[in-house]
């Protein structure tokens, strides 16, 4: 295990436990206007005495507190983060810098359009680039994340069918889909009908055909699918849907396999979302913010959320007069700061660079797959795109599950792969290295995974009790859920 060595990390209490009265980490300038008596201005019944329990700590304590906390995290900046379907690639620091430029970060969403031309141009340019990458006709940048984009996409489909006087009630979803797909369909008011995958892990065209009738509004498909396989029959799937009057929605979580290679608009997709925090490198930040732009074919364009941007003789302007629009899915214009970062990423690559990145992403996934075949069971044999999925079937014979292997991987200095997903693979290990990993890093990962496979044979218990090298040993998740403690109280100290 030459990759890791123990080092000291510091314990740190919660802010509330560090607190003592009278301290603060911030000083405001003196007030340059007369003070106002709050009770007089607002009424004594509306004024609080204090924020009970709020911490009182100094600046240096705040800095040390969060720096110590940060040392307890794994991150892309430390090494490979092979979470399948999450596309954890390097987050260029330049993108952070440009999002913080004065005039961009400081811009108010209601400032006059005449003073927002550069910002509208950023949005327009990004819309055009994303449309080009997807082969689609129009893009909205408003959705705040992938699942939010899915909701937007389904509402567009709904509005389209309703405008045709043909409201439909069912959305078809393959059993390999992300959990957000069925959850989103429910929020959009649809019944979900799950379609079982075929023996190759792909959409079962015969089953699909049988399921498509005039109640079906759409199929939500991920392509490449969650097993990392390109849906070979996607054009036939599109034909079946369109013949039945239904729409084809694509979950773009796996666009890192396609950008610059093939375009969903060219294989029959009507509407799709992108995850800018996956394919376009905006930082995941421990769980967000993301952005989930939605790209559509022409026939869905009239339904896009308000507002749209258009050219007028005086410059770029917002268009609010769109009677067929589904309305708003979020206040203002989306996660603008995330959009800026994604545009910076696209500008850095250029069109050909995006293709090269995709090539390396697929190369890396196949390289890892090759290195692990023979050590782990590969349930589906079809060629992999940007990720590969193994199962724990060999290891589980020794009582070791995918979750155990994942925890042991931590001891070797790697973040685990995606555990137990997709659901169509029992005990799945879903691995997506992305293009921003060197051969050296991949070789180290492959060696670690091979070593764990050997450990399972030799000493299964070692793997079951991992991790050992972390400051926190295996965490009791059952206990957390049994009697949830989600806010600090003085007595919850341990």
- The span from the CA of 399 to the CA of 423, in Å, is 20
Sole residue written with tokens 């042991």: 408
State which of residues 2, 8, 199, 287 lies at the interface with another protein (CB under 8 A): 287
- Of the two residues 313 and 491, which places its CB atom closer to another protein in the complex? 491
Least CB distance from residue 391 to another protein, whole Å?
19
Prior bond of 467 cis (ω within 30°):
yes
- According to CB under 8 A, which residues from 120 to 179 bind another protein? 121-122, 129, 132-133, 135, 144-148, 150-151, 155, 158, 178-179
Q: Could you say whether residue 115 binds another protein (CB under 8 A)?
A: yes
Least CB distance from residue 423 to another protein, whole Å?
9
- According to CB under 8 A, which residues from 445 to 484 bind another protein? 465, 467, 470-477, 479-481, 484
Q: What are the DSSP calls for 315-370, one per residue?
A: EEEEE---TT----SSSTTS-HHHHHHHHHHHHHHHHHHHHHHHHHHHHHHHHHHH
Q: Write the burial class of residue 327 (CB in 10 Å: 0-12 exposed, 13-18 middle, 19+ buried).
A: exposed
Q: Could you say whether residue 119 binds another protein (CB under 8 A)?
A: yes
- The span from the CA of 137 to the CA of 149, in Å, is 16
Closest C-alpha among 245, 292, 249 to residue 154: 249
Q: Could you say whether residue 46 binds another protein (CB under 8 A)?
A: yes
- Of the two residues 264 and 397, which places its CB atom closer to another protein in the complex? 264
Residues 6+ apart with CB under 8 A from 191: 169, 170, 171, 185
State which of residues 244, 245, 289, 379 lies at the interface with another protein (CB under 8 A): 289
State which of residues 334, 422, 427, 433 lies at the interface with another protein (CB under 8 A): 334
Cβ atoms of 325 and 305 within 8 Å: the answer is yes
State which of residues 1, 318, 324, 438 lies at the interface with another protein (CB under 8 A): 438
Stretch that binds another protein, among 50-58, 241-249, 425-433, 455-463 (CB under 8 A): 50-58
Stretch that binds another protein, among 205-213, 239-247, 365-373, 387-395 (CB under 8 A): 365-373
Q: Could you say whether residue 323 binds another protein (CB under 8 A)?
A: no
- According to CB under 8 A, which residues from 66 to 95 bind another protein? 66-67, 69-78, 81, 83, 86, 88, 90-92, 94
- The span from the CA of 119 to the CA of 102, in Å, is 12
Cβ atoms of 344 and 104 within 8 Å: the answer is no
Q: Could you say whether residue 222 binds another protein (CB under 8 A)?
A: no
Stretch that binds another protein, among 97-105, 393-401, 425-433, 445-453 (CB under 8 A): 97-105
């Amino acid at each position: 295990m030459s990759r890791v060595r123990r080092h000291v990390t510091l314990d740190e209490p919660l802010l509330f436990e560090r607190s003592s009265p009278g301290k603060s980490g911030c000083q405001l300038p003196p007030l340059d206007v007369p003070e106002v008596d709050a009770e007089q201005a607002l009424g004594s019944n509306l004024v609080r005495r204090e924020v009970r329990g709020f911490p009182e700590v100094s600046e240096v304590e705040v800095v040390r507190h969060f720096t110590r906390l940060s040392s307890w995290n794994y991150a892309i900046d430390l090494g490979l983060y092979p979470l399948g379907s999450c596309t954890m690639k390097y987050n260029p620091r330049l993108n952070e810098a440009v999002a913080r430029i004065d005039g961009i970060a400081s811009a108010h969403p209601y400032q006059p359009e005449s003073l927002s031309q550069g910002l509208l141009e950023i949005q327009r340019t990004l819309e055009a680039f994303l449309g080009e990458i997807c082969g689609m006709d129009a893009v909205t940048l408003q959705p705040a994340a992938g699942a939010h984009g899915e909701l937007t996409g389904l509402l567009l489909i709904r509005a389209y069918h309703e405008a045709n006087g043909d409201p439909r009630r069912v959305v078809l979803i393959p059993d390999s889909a992300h959990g957000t797909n069925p959850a989103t369909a429910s929020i959009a008011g649809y019944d979900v009908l799950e379609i079982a995958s075929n023996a190759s892990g792909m959409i079962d065209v015969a089953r699909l055909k049988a399921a498509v009738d005039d109640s079906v509004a759409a199929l939500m498909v991920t392509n490449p699918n969650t097993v990392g396989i390109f849906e070979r029959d996607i054009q036939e799937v599109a034909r079946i849907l369109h013949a039945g009057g239904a729409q084809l929605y694509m979950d773009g979580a796996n666009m890192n396999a396609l950008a610059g290679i093939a375009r969903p608009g060219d294989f029959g997709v009507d509407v799709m979302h992108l995850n800018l925090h996956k394919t376009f490198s905006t930082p995941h930040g421990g769980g967000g913010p993301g952005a989930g732009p939605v790209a559509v074919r022409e026939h869905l364009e009239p339904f896009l959320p308000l507002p749209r941007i258009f050219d007028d003789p005086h410059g770029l302007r917002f268009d609010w007069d769109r009677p067929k629009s589904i309305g708003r899915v979020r206040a203002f214009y989306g996660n603008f700061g995330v959009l800026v970062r994604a545009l910076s990423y696209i500008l850095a690559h250029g069109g050909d660079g995006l293709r090269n990145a995709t090539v390396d992403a697929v190369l890396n996934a196949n390289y890892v797959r090759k290195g692990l075949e023979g050590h782990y069971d590969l349930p589906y044999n079809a060629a992999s795109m940007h990720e590969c999925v193994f199962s724990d079937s060999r290891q589980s014979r020794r009582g070791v599950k995918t979750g155990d292997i994942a925890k042991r991987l931590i001891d070797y200095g790697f973040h685990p792969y995606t555990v137990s997903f997709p659901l169509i693979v029992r005990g799945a290990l879903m691995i997506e290295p992305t293009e921003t990993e060197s051969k050296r890093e991949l070789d180290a990962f492959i060696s670690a995974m091979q070593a764990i496979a050997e450990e399972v044979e030799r000493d299964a218990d070692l793997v079951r009790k991992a991790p050992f090298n972390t400051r926190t040993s295996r965490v009791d998740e059952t206990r957390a859920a049994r009697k949830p403690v989600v806010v600090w109280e003085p007595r919850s100290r341990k």
